[in-house]
Amino acid sequence: MIRAATIEDLDNIIEIYNQAIDAGFQRRFTEKWEPGERIGWLQGHLTGTHPIFVYVADGLVAGWFSISPYRAGRAAFRHTVEISYFVHTEHQKKGIGPQLIAYGINACRQLDYKTAIAIILDKNDVSVKLVEKFGFERWGFMPGVADFSGVECNHLYYGLKL
């Protein structure tokens, strides 16, 4: 089941996000999130215009999808959003990621957004293939801009016209 996230989901959202940090080359951040640091971030997503959705399996949050402003504060980009998605390591390869993306893209359309952007590190082959499956096209390439303890990665911008 997919539903809108609540403040009670914060610890699970952070746990799943931190798993991506541990896996490496999946996020631009290298520092783990702490619950106290992310309360405001989650509350900002509870307003309805930029929601977070959670996938619940057996009563537990198994994954999440967020719709965030792209280049916040710049009015010309008000119809464009950045999407992010994460699946708990114990629930990967069960079809949760595709379900979250399909649900999230539909939500973007219902919210009248015109463009969705997914920003992915090139070493994250699973995410690249997943967004391509949903029709995202590679719109941008930033060579060697991410550095993980001396290992450089490319940053890829994928876009989808909604």
For residue range 53-96, list pLDDT tens digits in order. 999 999 999 999 999 999 999 999 999 999 999 999 999 999 99
Q: How confident is the model at residue 151 (pLDDT cuts 50, 70, 90)?
A: confident
Decide if pLDDT at 26 tops 80: no
The residues pairing with 105 across neighbouring beta strands, listed in sequence order, are none
Q: Which amino acid is at 129?
A: K
What is the distance between the alpha carbons of residues 84 and 27, in angstroms, rounded to a whole number?
Answer: 10
Supply the CATH classification number for the domain 2-114: 3.40.630.30
What's the whole-number average pLDDT of the chain? 91
Pairing mode, strands 115-121 and 60-69: unpaired
Q: 95-114 pLDDT, tens per residue?
A: 999 999 999 999 999 999 99
The answer to whether 121 and 28 are in contact (CB under 8 A) is yes
The domain spans of the chain are 2-114
Per-residue pLDDT at 41: 87
Please report which confidence band the pLDDT of residue 25 belongs to, taking 50, 70 and 90 as the band edges. low
Query: Cβ–Cβ contacts within 10 Å for residue 124, how many?
Result: 18
pLDDT at 30: 58
> pLDDT digits over 81-90, tens only?
999 999 999 9
